[in-house]
Amino acid sequence: MTSSPHLTILTGASRGMGLAMARQLLREGHHLLCIARHTQPELEQAGGAHCTQWQADLADGAAVAARLDHWLGGHHGARWTSATLINNAGVIPALVPLSDADPADLARALRVGLEAPMQLTAAFLGATAGWGGQRRVLNISSGLGRRAQASQSAYCAAKAGMDHFTRCLALDEAARPNGARVCSLAPGVIDTDMQAQLRGADAGSFPDQANFAKLHAGGQLTSPEEAAARVLAYLARPDFGANPVADVRDPA
């Protein structure tokens, strides 16, 4: 297998902005490890030996983190000049008030959106601690982690938790030699299946449904491709990690 200078591990790479990021990273020559519930044949065709895909359910983040730790342990850090983890996967449970929510639905949203990113980040940083190249962790957050919204308790809580664990992680890594740069980044409003779920919800259970419908009708949603380009440009900024909780629209 020919070497690639950059390793990127990306969750939720099978659709939406995750798939768009995967396409762009492969075009830029990264070696890509994609973790998603479904594999994408087009990524295998585009990336060849530089694209590895795992079909996995992040609701069982501990098992995926253990697999990642083992996989990274089988590689020599000198092979890559940089290693990056992008925690992109997330799910929105049923858009209903918390009193009407299904407990299993809530648990899945929190496991995928918060527990798995923490577990994968711990595995990634532990396994690469002795690597000499630059390491980065990019957590894909949301404005809803910083602004409450009715009928979205689990999603908002997961993203708020992601923001705060990133703040804690930044303190950890600042004290380490060659500590990783980390950031929890809000990517803006993107035209994905998740947005379709929001604007298609029952307005009686989800009071903000009309606002999401207006965003779509008014052409105010960013395409997954454009959003991916903006996120990856932010990831490449020299000041990445200077602010552990940020927005893709923040000035350089």
Determine contact, residues 28/50, Cβ cutoff 8 Å: no
Q: Give residue-wise pLDDT tens across range 47-76.
A: 677 899 999 999 999 999 999 999 999 998
Average pLDDT over residues 40-48: 83
pLDDT at res. 210: 65
Q: Which residue has the higher pLDDT, 49 or 223?
A: 223
pLDDT at res. 77: 83
- Cα 26 to Cα 21, 69, 85: the distances in Å are 9, 23, 15
Categorize the per-residue pLDDT at 1 as very low, low, confident or very high, splitting at 50, 70 and 90.
very low
Q: Which residues pair with 137 in a beta bridge?
A: 85, 182
Average pLDDT over residues 195-209: 68
pLDDT at res. 247: 96
Closest CA to 6 of 23, 29, 27: 29
- The whole-angstrom separation of Cα 160 and Cα 144 is 8
Q: Give residue-wise pLDDT tens across range 112-139.
A: 999 999 999 999 999 999 999 999 999 9
Q: Looking at residue 97, what DSSP letter applies?
A: -
3-state per-residue secondary structure call for 181-200: EEEEEECCCECCHHHHHHHC
pTM for the structure as a whole: 0.91
Look at residue 229 and give its three-state secondary structure: helix
- Cα 30 to Cα 49, 161, 218, 229: the distances in Å are 11, 29, 36, 15
